[in-house]
Structure 1
Amino acid sequence: MQFWNRRQAILGAIAVGLAACAPSKFRRYNGPEVTRVEIHKGARKMYLLHHDKVLKQYDVGLGAAPVGHKQFEGDSKTPEGLYYIDRRNPNSNFHLSVGISYPNPADRAFARAQGKSPGGDIFIHGQAGKHMGRGRGRDWTDGCIAVTDREVEDIYAMLRLGTPVAIYP
């Protein structure tokens, strides 16, 4: 009986030690503040800027229907316009994600005038590598902006709530 308890204690200590050594998806960032995010849909590029200086740039995947502004729920388009970072999701189904404030009041008014929902839940998120290799192509989201998991870890650390996001055609 004593052997069994000692064995359980040793195995428990090893498990705790291994868990402590596991890499975290949460990174730290101590550089210049990101004052603006620009997404250029046509070039499939995202830039994190400190005023006019590019701090980081990323290749991105977009909604499965990448041309044009998102207007309605289910249209698979990525929005265009001025938004801001409005939430952070550490438990995202896409590794990590930061929310973009779509729909804005103009988006809601347009959709309402058409008798439709504008949709929502637009994020910058990870897992691009997992989806792009499976016949889904470069643009595979329902309207979000996709990067690799490693990239979204950096983005998640760098962006703060309220950071402006400009999305261009």
Structure 2
Amino acid sequence: MLRNPDYPGLITWRAVWILTLFIFHGSSSAAISSPYLIEINKSTRELKVLSGEQVVRSFHISLGKADHGAKRRRGDNRTPVGAYQVVDFNNDSKFFFFMLLNYPNTVDAWHGYRDQTISASEFRQIVTAIKNGAVPPQNTALGGFIGIHGVGEETGETLEIHESFNWTEGCIALTNDEMNELRQYVSYGTRVLIRE
């Protein structure tokens, strides 16, 4: 049974997991054209570019200021944990270059719905967007505009902060030169796996 008997109308985590697998690997999701996988390890502050099992390149990264735990709401300064895809690019970002991820995904939406952070309507909008390979709503209480970006204006001070601290509001940051290098491995639909 996919319904939770303790909370009528609330689907179980197993149903969400099945839905996520279908959507993430299903035919109606965004085309996955990149042969690369981006794997982010929050505990080691490392981003790896993988081709199959082979590490092609790795980078030191900065994360959200509240670096432990999954992102659950706007303004919590946490980097999300889960499986995402790159869905847009911004060449004119104040952070040099920005790769937008499809956060919130279906699991994030389920947690938000379960915790009454978002409505059933917002849950459905997010799930539909993910299923169709579109950008999910970015203006819910779950937050949005999570991605991978550069430092922006690089000075000795900003580079030292980047090297030493997690300074973003939930995004993943690299130096501008590293972003230029990472760009060659990333296209629309590139998978991004973020682990604690």
User: TM-score category by the smaller chain?
Assistant: 0.7 to 0.9
Pick the aligned partner of 1:133 from 160, 170, 183.
Answer: 160
Structure number with bigger Rg? 1
Gaps of 5+ in 1: 1-32
Contact 2:49 2:55 (C-alpha < 8 Å) held by counterparts: yes
Contact 1:34 1:48 (C-alpha < 8 Å) held by counterparts: no
- Alignment of 1:122 onto 2:149: no
Contact 1:96 1:156 (C-alpha < 8 Å) held by counterparts: no
- Look up the match of 1:101: 102
Contact 1:132 1:140 (C-alpha < 8 Å) held by counterparts: no
Partners of 2:162 and 2:58 in 1: CA distance: 25
C-alpha displacement at 1:97, in angstroms? Answer: 1.4
Contact 2:87 2:188 (C-alpha < 8 Å) held by counterparts: yes
TM-score w.r.t. structure 2 length? Answer: 0.64
TM-score w.r.t. structure 1 length? Answer: 0.74
Q: For 1:84-99, list aligned pairs within 5 A.
A: 84-99=85-100
Partners of 1:34 and 1:145 in 2: CA distance: 21
- Look up the match of 1:57: 58
Residues 10-58 of structure 1, C-alpha deviations (whole Å, 9 max, x = no match): xxxxxxxxxxxxxxxxxxxxxxx54211000000000011111111100
Secondary structure in 2 matching 1:165: strand
Gaps of 5+ in 2: 1-33, 118-140
Name the Cα RMSD after superposition. Answer: 2.0
C-alpha displacement at 1:137, in angstroms? Answer: 4.7
- Alignment of 1:75 onto 2:76: yes
Percent same amino acid among aligned pairs?
31
- Alignment of 1:143 onto 2:167: no
Residues 131-158 of structure 1, C-alpha deviations (whole Å, 9 max, x = no match): 3535995100000001000000111232
Residues 63-95 of structure 1, C-alpha deviations (whole Å, 9 max, x = no match): 000000001000000000111111111111100
- Look up the match of 2:39: 38
Secondary structure in 2 matching 1:141: coil
Contact 2:148 2:173 (C-alpha < 8 Å) held by counterparts: yes
Secondary structure in 2 matching 1:71: coil
Aligned length: 137
C-alpha displacement at 1:106, in angstroms? Answer: 2.1
Residues 108-165 of structure 1, C-alpha deviations (whole Å, 9 max, x = no match): 2322343431111111100175535359951000000010000001112320111111
Secondary structure in 1 matching 2:184: helix
Q: 1:114 to 1:152 in 2, by over 3 A?
A: same
